[in-house]
Structure 1
């Protein structure tokens, strides 16, 4: 393990349609990203992109789009397709991390067919489509847990639309809850570093490992070509908001330098750990409440220091 001085790390997150798609506490996802970056001395700048604003992909390192009601999605769908679509597609193909929740997830698929009115055309980032079967069919509401990357994700879902995947890879397999359509046990979709999901604003607060996954992907993408002898500096731990750049003990790792080969590998970089005891207690509480006791025990053993 080698250590080096840290250059200031900065990221810019584009928040699409913050005024239109703002239901169910989805701002909690952005607040979590900000807090976890700040705790490591990383500056995360959040820029709102509303209707009429162009999306220049080279100005951002991450993108987020939340959920809203059907009546709010129609003008968003038109703006997304006609104005922001080219920039968003370019960002996705360049492996920019994108998190799309509920309505945002639906609009990044091929189309959304509401209970009433014409179809809303999506961007087709995800090979998927969504159909709302009308008021007579119960909404998918409640806590949800799914398997992801050898562990679990938990959250809260509230959607009337049913999403069906074509060739898209799901984000995870539903352990308890409804997921994409309450039929095939899939939840969400993945394309490159774009993630669609029905898990709302409790997603990142209760899943710190997924939040860090997005942050590390963004940092790796931005800093993969470092000017200092082809190395890339990973991320400092903090103590009461102060950077620990001199301490090289294992529990307060300041900086890890990677070779150029490591820096350009497909796996995300490893962030310095934070004290996530409360987050994992909230995570395991949802698992216990859903009756997933073995998964809760596994989460405690893996993530909460004894």
Structure 2
């Protein structure tokens, strides 16, 4: 039986809008393949051996939650986490967690929160709150997938040249409501604003993240055993049908 290890960053401070469901989905789709996924919560002040992890999840939170953990993220976890991400650690970050992976987050109150700097993005708080269902079209390997989710953010995230967009926004606001970009990818780091939660609604992305982690741990020859997702895909297609009527 294969084993993977996942670090859940700051679950008490940074896990809103159903984001814990992403960890549940990863664990369950691993279990159905006889892969044991060990989940370790990372709290402020913890000593962490980042080289021991295969996956990391960083959920969303309010500005106040981000302020509580920003110093710990940079000063205590920063060096080890940066090195692990450079070495191919697979990470999914949502909303507030996504923002803190960038260079900085300038809140609507004018407070500048420095980020980890592992994604070439920065975020500026705005007065308009961008709320609603969202569809982002992306490529996962050779497969084109339309991801569904729910966004709720006032921060507007802008990309530098060092990242590529996760995908193209078909419905919703996306990262900033201006350029049609939804999320960012660099190495095995995936960040976006899709709550709801993201992975139970999109098993294709769940399996893609598990596959990346398996290949890093056990070698590029390791493939992911196919797994049925009939009910999940039916739910996904139902939402896409409702949201993409204007594309018909």
Compute the displacement of 1:76 (Å): 1.0
Aligned pair in 2 of structure 1 residues 273, 182: CA closer, same or farther (>3 Å)? same
In structure 2, the residue matched to 1:142 is 132
In structure 2, the residue matched to 1:80 is 73
Compute the displacement of 1:292 (Å): 4.6
The structure number with the bigger radius of gyration is 1
In structure 1, the residue matched to 2:236 is 283
Q: TM-score, normalised by structure 2?
A: 0.94
2:122 alignment partner, SS class: strand
Map residues 114-125 of structure 1 onto 2, 5 A cutoff. 114-125=107-118
CA distance, structure 2, for counterparts of residue 292 and residue 55 of structure 1: 47
Deviations along 1:34-64, one digit per CA (max 9) or x if unpaired, are: 1100001000000000111133222211111
In structure 2, the residue matched to 1:112 is 105
**Structure 1 unmatched ranges of 5 or more:** 1-7, 225-261, 264-268, 296-306
Deviations along 1:181-205, one digit per CA (max 9) or x if unpaired, are: 0100001111100011101142100
Deviations along 1:103-150, one digit per CA (max 9) or x if unpaired, are: 00000001111111420000111111101123xx2x111111111112
Moved more, 282-291 or 88-97: 282-291
CA distance, structure 2, for counterparts of residue 293 and residue 285 of structure 1: 15
CA contact (8 A) 2:215 2:223 kept: no
Deviations along 1:12-33, one digit per CA (max 9) or x if unpaired, are: 1000001000110001000000
In structure 2, the residue matched to 1:103 is 96
Compute the displacement of 1:288 (Å): 1.2
CA contact (8 A) 1:143 1:286 kept: no
Deviations along 1:146-199, one digit per CA (max 9) or x if unpaired, are: 111122111111111000001121111101111000100001111100011101
Q: Which of 152, 157, 168 pairs up with 1:163?
A: 157
Map residues 190-229 of structure 1 onto 2, 5 A cutoff. 190-224=185-219
2:225 alignment partner, SS class: coil
Deviations along 1:240-270, one digit per CA (max 9) or x if unpaired, are: xxxxxxxxxxxxxxxxxxxxxx63xxxxx54
In structure 2, the residue matched to 1:249 is none
1:283 alignment partner, SS class: helix
CA distance, structure 2, for counterparts of residue 180 and residue 289 of structure 1: 22
Q: TM-score, normalised by structure 1?
A: 0.77
Aligned pair in 2 of structure 1 residues 222, 27: CA closer, same or farther (>3 Å)? same
CA contact (8 A) 1:27 1:201 kept: no
CA distance, structure 1, for counterparts of residue 33 and residue 54 of structure 2: 17
Task: Establish whether residue 130 from structure 1 lines up as the match of residue 120 from structure 2.
Answer: no
CA distance, structure 1, for counterparts of residue 171 and residue 110 of structure 2: 32
In structure 2, the residue matched to 1:253 is none
CA contact (8 A) 2:30 2:36 kept: yes
- Taking only aligned residues, the RMSD between alpha carbons, in angstroms, comes to 1.4
Question: 4+ residue stretches of structure 1 with deviation over 6 A?
Answer: none
Number of residue pairs the alignment of both structures matches: 243
